[in-house]
Amino acid sequence: MRVAVIGFGNIGRTLARAWERAGHQVVVGARDPASAAAEVRSALGGTAAVHTVADALAGADAVLLALPGAAVPGLLRDHGAALAGVVLLDAANDVGGSTLHQAEAVATLAPGAHAFRAFNTLGWENLAEPVIGGVTADLIFCGPDGAPRQSAERLIADVGLRPVYVGGADAADVVDGVAKLWFALALGQGRGRRLAFKVLEP
């Protein structure tokens, strides 16, 4: 798949590396590609592609939003139409907002996207090393069912996580509850960022 990564902090870098290793074509969209090129190529290798956001989105099969949550509506106002038919993986947490997610903005400004809430419930360290104590961590996510879900699950599995689907777009608050639990345990209680979750069933 051609995967566009928008936002190249710890989450964006970590997932971009994993997807490249899995054989996906990863492109990075940046407001200023020239200034971002050295950082991206250092992280991904000398041939990594850095484009404007518009060019990165063009022809993408999937898009990762890994920018600050408060920046999501502005990006979607500018580029939401380009996301029609695309698997959109929203990993952005608006920590200072009334909700962590921007699901309403996604639905309004990118109505044609197959939007998933994913990759926002764990620290980036667990995305880089998803096996903890010999156990593969789960990634709780939500979004539309069918073929788009299969693509999302493939991208989650290609990072090394086990995908756990909790429902459609209306389950965004459920997913964000897991993110809040991670913050409470890992940071609030000082248990450390190498903390993840596992769904157990017979």
pLDDT at 34: 73
C-beta neighbour count of 94 within 10 angstroms: 18
pLDDT at 46: 64
Q: How distant is the alpha carbon of residue 91 from its chain centre?
A: 4
Q: What is the dihedral of CA 190, 191, 197, 201, to 10 degrees?
A: -120
Q: Say what the pTM is.
A: 0.94
> Using CA atoms, how far apart are residues 79 and 16, in angstroms rounded to an integer?
21
Helix (H) or strand (E) holding 12: helix 10-21
User: Buried (b) or exposed (e) across 49-68, using 16+ Cβ within 10 A?
Assistant: bbbebeebbeebebbbbbbe
CATH architecture of 2-188: 3-Layer(aba) Sandwich (3.40)
Per-residue pLDDT of the chain (202 residues; tens, 9 = 90+): 999 999 989 999 999 999 999 999 999 998 877 777 778 877 787 667 788 999 999 999 999 999 999 999 999 999 999 999 999 999 999 998 889 999 999 999 999 999 999 999 999 999 999 999 999 999 999 999 999 999 999 999 999 999 999 999 999 999 999 999 999 999 999 999 999 999 999 9
